[in-house]
Structure 1
Amino acid sequence: MSVTTSTSGSGQEADKGTVRSSTQDERLAQVGLAQRLIVRPEIGAALGALVVFVFFSVITEQFLTLGGVATWLDDASTLGIMAIAVALLMIGGEFDLSAGVMTASTALVTALLATQAGLNVWLALLVSLIFALGVGAFNGWLVMRTGLPSFIVTLGTFLALQGLNLGVTRLATGTVQVSGMRATEGYESAGLFFASTIDIFGQPFRISVVWWILLTALAAFVLVRTRFGNWIFAVGGAPTSARAVGVPLVRTKILLFMTTAFAGWLVGSINILRFASVQANQGIGLELQFIIAAVVGGCLLTGGFGSAVGAAIGALIFGMARQGIIYAQWDSDWFMLFLGVLLLAAVLVNNSLRRRAERVRR
């Protein structure tokens, strides 16, 4: 009898040990590579970029040449700078429909002050930066103060800036264009900083590509390594809960609108110093491309989910596709069809990845 009891006890202890062991193993089990990739918002955009890259590399001869690479990187760079800022704002749960026209407004402020008022280009750039940050702060404050959707508030800003661009430019110059930047004081030094080229194996690459890469790295670091990055995800995903635990919701969202305005200033500065002229109706319609690039990069329209790196990849897809279509000698009208299909596919893929990521994290 004692032997039976001893055997039974040993079996129970063994069973308990097995349970403990399996439980411990489950806790300590490492997440596989596939699961780690699924939770990354930019994985869909990366796969899409690979497909577009391979496709145009195969069907065109110029796409993979050094000149071809420089061209589609240049095409993607200014779009990418804006897409990154728009992505941060979308992760924070808001939209900015004035982002496209802001690139023209800041360029016009710089050009008018430099050519008409005689200011040094660097001083004109500083004034246009203050103007951009002021508009961004006003957008954020108005959204937070009134509770109106940012879609409506920034649509109003878009229309107001468009009217100001046309009215002030025509009043100051008699036309809807400002030119003559090359004759202004400080143009050469400012141009080196914002609009110069870097030779790589004899091929000039625009410095805007460097700005794009640097801002992508900075935005990615802020999102995943800083407290402010945590605040961005929090105010976009669960604003009520974020406010309850002490996240400065109002300040965070205003700073995000200012970030978008800063990106508009940077792109406007690059454009005015590169082309030395600017049209008053420039930038209209680009805001939709910025949003599409961010969505392709993994941002959800509902906020709280997305990636700066993904937005940069989304812009890269734009650049490769736009120039690839030209190299393939197709009608450029097909690019709009590409955008529509890309947007729908991105929304479906992002929703699917979001659900899978939530299951993996559980």
Structure 2
Amino acid sequence: MTTLTVDERISSTSTLAKVLKRPEIGAFVAALAIFAFFAVSTDVFATPAGASTWLRGASTIGIMAVAVALLMIGGEFDLSAGAITGFTGLVVGILTTEYGLNIWAAILVSLGLALAVGAVNGILVMRTGLPSFIVTLGTFFVLQGIDLAGTKALIGQVAIQGMSNVPYYDQAKSVFGSTLTIGFDWMPGTRFDGNLSVFASVFWWLAVTAVATWILLRTRTGNWIFSVGGAQQSARQVGVPVFKTKVGLFMTTAGAGWLVGMLLLFSTSTVQSNTGVGQEFIYIICAVVGGCLMTGGYGSAIGAALGALIYGMVSQGIVYSGWDNNWLRAFLGVMLLAAVLLNEWVRKRAETAR
């Protein structure tokens, strides 16, 4: 009698295991729960006007969270990401209002400087072997000093105003600061009656998330990102360009900081020297909530975008509920701890579910 042995390498995986293996599943469930809670508990949250507000807040956080998620999957951190948003905005403001440079040329100069900062971060980390946490923390303080002392030395103040009077400002605003209005007048008498204002930053957020997801899941570069974060030495041994991949990730984060800086600048026509400062850990929290592991090699761009959506909904939902806004910080701490525990539980459950 012949006994058939099933090769465990070709055994099928259950649908539950496939779902649980997705890094963003926890953030997706949490986002649904939070939306339902505030939609029921407040009258404004789920209205077009309310949604316009929390979507706008989530979008700029989301762009940075997606870029930070890519870097975290690659096994590194960037604490200078927030300072770059203010730095790039100030560069454009000073070059156009004080030195008369064409606004598009100033935008390109600020992009070049941002990418240079990202490249320096990446090269220092790779060449010195120092933790990226320390290297980018140093860059953060350098940029913060330039934003404050440098701006004050050049123009005598720490804020740029009057950008709307700069030639071709309207052109740049149409790209970075415009708004699309969607009317819901066909639903009179309901809370959904009104206009939904979708800011340009929301479209940029969706585009960045889509491109990042495609890179991670459909390209060789995505495989490199996962491999350098999960097992850098092994990746190097099989021919993965570790140096180029990690420097590219730092430049990507800096480029995202430039984009957010432009979105903030051209939506308000002003920029402060402290713009973006203090947001660094929020980006990391959103990425972790979205499924990224602190140890690298695992995560999702969609998950990071959902983490930013959660942050945007909670930050505005607290206001609509009439709560003390200081509770947002407490929520961020709880959200981070819960995300770490949930991610670990999901991974273990996915490994055992068949």
Aligned mates of 1:31, 1:146 — CA distance in 2: 43
In the other structure, the counterpart of 1:300 is 293
Per-residue CA deviations over 1:177-210 (Å, capped at 9, x if unaligned) read 1111111111000000001001112432101100
In the other structure, the counterpart of 1:5 is none
Aligned residues: 343
TM-score (norm 2): 0.94
What is the correspondence of 1:92-103 to structure 2 with a 5 Å cutoff?
A: 92-103=74-85
Which of 151, 162, 181 lines up with 1:199 in the alignment?
A: 181
In the other structure, the counterpart of 1:175 is 157
In the other structure, the counterpart of 1:243 is 236
- Amino acid in the other structure paired with 2:64: M
Is the CA contact (8 Å cut-off) linking 1:106 and 1:269 kept in structure 2?
yes
Percentage of pairs with the same residue: 56
Is the CA contact (8 Å cut-off) linking 1:39 and 1:360 kept in structure 2?
no
Q: Does 1:76 align with 2:58?
A: yes
Q: Does 1:258 align with 2:240?
A: no
- Amino acid in the other structure paired with 1:261: A
In the other structure, the counterpart of 1:127 is 109
Structure in which a larger fraction of residues adopt helix: 1
TM-score (norm 1): 0.92
- Amino acid in the other structure paired with 1:245: V
Per-residue CA deviations over 1:48-101 (Å, capped at 9, x if unaligned) read 111111110110011111111111111100000000000000000000000011
SS at match of 1:229: helix
In the other structure, the counterpart of 2:148 is 166
Which of 320, 338, 345 lines up with 2:331 in the alignment?
A: 338
- Amino acid in the other structure paired with 2:275: Q
TM-aligned CA deviation for residue 113 of structure 1: 0.5
Task: Find the structure with the greater CA-based Rg.
Answer: 1
Unaligned runs of 5+ in 1: 1-11
What is the correspondence of 1:1-362 to structure 2 with a 5 Å cutoff?
A: 12-13=1-2, 16=3, 19=4, 23=6, 30-201=12-183, 202-359=195-352
SS at match of 2:261: helix
Unaligned runs of 5+ in 2: 184-194
TM-aligned CA deviation for residue 27 of structure 1: 6.7
Is the CA contact (8 Å cut-off) linking 1:119 and 1:185 kept in structure 2?
no
TM-aligned CA deviation for residue 169 of structure 1: 0.8
Is the CA contact (8 Å cut-off) linking 2:114 and 2:255 kept in structure 1?
yes
Is the CA contact (8 Å cut-off) linking 1:97 and 1:154 kept in structure 2?
yes
Is the CA contact (8 Å cut-off) linking 1:90 and 1:299 kept in structure 2?
yes
Aligned mates of 2:25, 2:212 — CA distance in 1: 17
Aligned mates of 2:353, 2:256 — CA distance in 1: 35
CA spacing shift, 1:51–1:203, aligned 2, 3 Å: closer
- Amino acid in the other structure paired with 2:269: A
SS at match of 2:293: coil
Aligned mates of 1:148, 1:358 — CA distance in 2: 33
